[in-house]
Chains A and B, each alone.
Chain A
Amino acid sequence: MSSRLTSWYVFGFINIAILSLVACSGEKRPNADASAFRVALLTPGPISDQAWNATAYQGLERMRDSLGASISHIQTKTPAEFEENFRQYGAKGFDLVIGHGFEFQDAARRVGPQFPQTLFATTGGEGAGPNVVALSFAFDEPSYLAGMAAAAMTRTGVIGVIGGTELPPVKLGFEAFLAGARLVRPDIRLLTAYIGNWDDASAGKEQTLAQLSQKADVIYQNADAAGLGVFQAVRQAKGAWVIGSNADQNGLAPEVTLGSVLVDVPHAFLLLARQRQANTVQGPTLRFATASEVVRWVPNPTAPPLPEQVRAKMDSVRAEFAAGARPVLTPR
């Protein structure tokens, strides 16, 4: 056998092995019941990140446990994969297919019209039709409160934000964080950094060490798995604080965590799934803000308490958010 032919056998074999093992956890109850409610989730990163992707997977499991849904999950990386997998699930007749992130929006818009029986939803972005909807989270509101808490805790007057890539929701959260901090301490200085991906925990740690060396002492991270490096750096430093995002990350390093900007993704998924089952989806964009309790600032119970006047101010700002009486950022 020629060596090139052997190569292709090897390549093919290994790839089949990988595909069957890896990227997807596969359908949990394949064709258990043709009439079952079937839900699929596409995540942009590993569900072991203890952040954005982990909470989506919890949401998927909650739909299985509460609604008896038959669930399927796949991890995808590139826009081509987003579209291909949307199409696959559409062709299999899934009832609900969720692309977990702003970045799935374009793929949902392209594939949606071809499979009118399937509801395509993205977390973030805007919906675009009867079966292409979006869950939109007012991530900026709790980020603003986090900024107020950060400004109350910083001793140096320098705070930092570290993101994976500059996705619009991530950027918006950081802008709100700065605005909130300025309300408490107008002279605050913000350092902004992006890692360039969501996996490289070592780069996350180095980026944090660089900010710490420039006197930042409260760092708000939104970098999924790479964010674990941010926690580690703050944990090993002296006298700095970290703020988690998306999931409740207060337990990762409780001794240095001020709190988490929580997006209760499981709750939102469950609401959406119920609406889908009853065919009452309030699309094209389902908005979740402070009033819904789906997004909220969760202070770490073991962190030292904030000054009384800042806490009072945070309460009144939160009440204004809940009443829809306060825009987070002044419109430009």
Chain B
Amino acid sequence: MDALLIPFLDATIRTATPLAYAALGEVVTERSGVINIGLEGIIIAGCLGGLIAAGAGGPTVGFLGGALAGLLMAALFALFVLRLKADAIITGTALTLLGLGLTGTVYRGVFGLEGAALGTPSIAPIALPGLSSLPLVGPVFFTQTVMTYLLYLLVPLLAWWLARTHTGLALRAIGESRTAAHAAGIAVDRIRWGAILFGGVMGGLCGATLVLGQVGTFTEGMSAGRGFIAIAIVVLGRWRVVGTALAALLFGGAFALQYLLQAVGWALPYQLFLALPYLLTLVMLAALRGRAEAPAELASHEG
């Protein structure tokens, strides 16, 4: 049983980690009442930023580079949506197209047609002393990369920040009604800038984790829809931090199950396995329906 269960759970955590970064960033952005569907473009920028920076200064610099690339993409989004009052959906769509196209061009410009080698500086899983020798949970939860461990700290911190701090409250107030928040003296635009940029940094880290924590190289379009999956995860997580982290885990599990089911050789059309994560989303959304918990401002996407 361990021959199936441990690879499955291990792959679950590994697959969920980048998704969780992107989705948690998007939670904060959306709680401020702005939806950034340009997350896909941010993630792929983070992938390439991470690759280039890691080549120059090692993995740590790589993660900073990925975060910076995401930040710049998000700043572009914020500039158009907050300053120029452009439509968030259209700007987000353009940001995705821009990210996917621009990274391809820059990648070929920097690395030529030979591409980046497989030996990009990357980080290996670290077995946490003590914890990693626990049965089952040890090899699964405590033999991961440092990016997963950071997430264990980040989730409670972010949940506390959103629920208990003054800024967190202000952010949520803007998401419910920006006019009321404005009347209460909250600096609406400044907080929204912060929320969007935070989403960008987290999306960039998602991309950098894919490159530096998993694949060890870059391929054009390697974000492969993770931005849109992260947005679905936020909905599934009901715009809550812990809920979103759990939803990311669920998606990671669905992907990992899909990998494993193909590998054990079930004689079913592979398209069924590939559809599994998406079928699961539909089922979960139907099961969790009930009171609308979306930030009210999301409905009016006039920025």
**Contact, CB under 8 Å: B260 / A210:** yes
Which residues of A lie under 8 Å from residue B222 when comparing CB positions? Answer: 199-202, 225
**Contact, CB under 8 Å: B217 / A201:** yes
Which residues of A lie under 8 Å from residue B270 when comparing CB positions? Answer: 166, 192-194, 196
Q: Which of A137-193 contact B (CB under 8 A)?
A: 160, 166, 189-193
Q: From residue B269, how far is it (CB to closest CB) to chain A in Å?
A: 9
Whether a CB of chain A sits under 8 angstroms from the CB of B182 is no
Which residues of A lie under 8 Å from residue B292 when comparing CB positions? Answer: none
Contact with B along A1-39 (1 / 0, CB 8 A): 001101110110011011001110000000000000000
Judged by DSSP, the binding face of B is helix
- Segment from A96-104, A126-134, A227-235, A294-302 that makes contact with B: A227-235
- Segment from A42-50, A258-266, A279-287, A305-313 that makes contact with B: A42-50
Which one of A14, A47, A213, A231 contacts B263 once the chains associate, using CB atoms below 8 Å? A213
**Contact, CB under 8 Å: B90 / A206:** no
- Segment from B57-65, B93-101, B242-250 that makes contact with A: B93-101
How far is it, in angstroms, between the C-alpha of A111 and the C-alpha of B202 when the chains are bound? 45
**Contact, CB under 8 Å: A226 / B94:** no
Q: Which of A196-225 contact B (CB under 8 A)?
A: 196-197, 199-203, 205-207, 209-211, 213-214, 216, 225
Contact with A along B245-280 (1 / 0, CB 8 A): 000000000011001101111000011001000000
Whether a CB of chain A sits under 8 angstroms from the CB of B221 is yes
Which residues of B lie under 8 Å from residue A225 when comparing CB positions? Answer: 219-222
Which residues of B lie under 8 Å from residue A229 when comparing CB positions? Answer: 215
Given A18-B102, A191-B265, are A209 and B114 also a contact pair (CB < 8 Å)?
no
Whether a CB of chain A sits under 8 angstroms from the CB of B216 is yes
Which one of A194, A199, A232 contacts B262 once the chains associate, using CB atoms below 8 Å? A194
Whether a CB of chain B sits under 8 angstroms from the CB of A271 is no
**Contact, CB under 8 Å: B215 / A228:** yes
Size of A's binding interface in residues, CB under 8 A: 56
Whether a CB of chain B sits under 8 angstroms from the CB of A57 is yes
Looking at A54, A232, A253, the one whose CB has the most chain B CB atoms below 10 A away is A232
Q: Considering only CB atoms, which chain A residue lies closest to B124 in the complex?
A: A236
- Segment from B78-86, B128-136, B171-179, B231-239 that makes contact with A: B78-86
**Contact, CB under 8 Å: B94 / A11:** yes
**Contact, CB under 8 Å: B11 / A210:** yes
Which one of B97, B216, B262 contacts A207 once the chains associate, using CB atoms below 8 Å? B262
**Contact, CB under 8 Å: B259 / A232:** no
Size of B's binding interface in residues, CB under 8 A: 52
**Contact, CB under 8 Å: B221 / A48:** no
**Contact, CB under 8 Å: A7 / B263:** no
Q: From residue B6, how far is it (CB to closest CB) to chain A in Å?
A: 8
**Contact, CB under 8 Å: B7 / A201:** no
Looking at A190, A197, A210, the one whose CB has the most chain B CB atoms below 10 A away is A210
**Contact, CB under 8 Å: A232 / B216:** yes
How far is it, in angstroms, between the C-alpha of A206 and the C-alpha of B216 when the chains are bound? 13
14 A-B pairs in the complex with CB atoms less than 8 angstroms apart: A3-B85, A11-B91, A14-B97, A18-B97, A47-B108, A47-B113, A203-B224, A203-B259, A206-B11, A211-B263, A213-B3, A213-B7, A213-B260, A228-B118
Given contacts A207-B262, A214-B3, 15 further A-B contacts (CB under 8 A): A3-B303, A10-B94, A15-B97, A17-B98, A21-B101, A48-B111, A49-B115, A194-B274, A197-B224, A209-B11, A210-B263, A214-B263, A232-B215, A235-B118, A252-B118
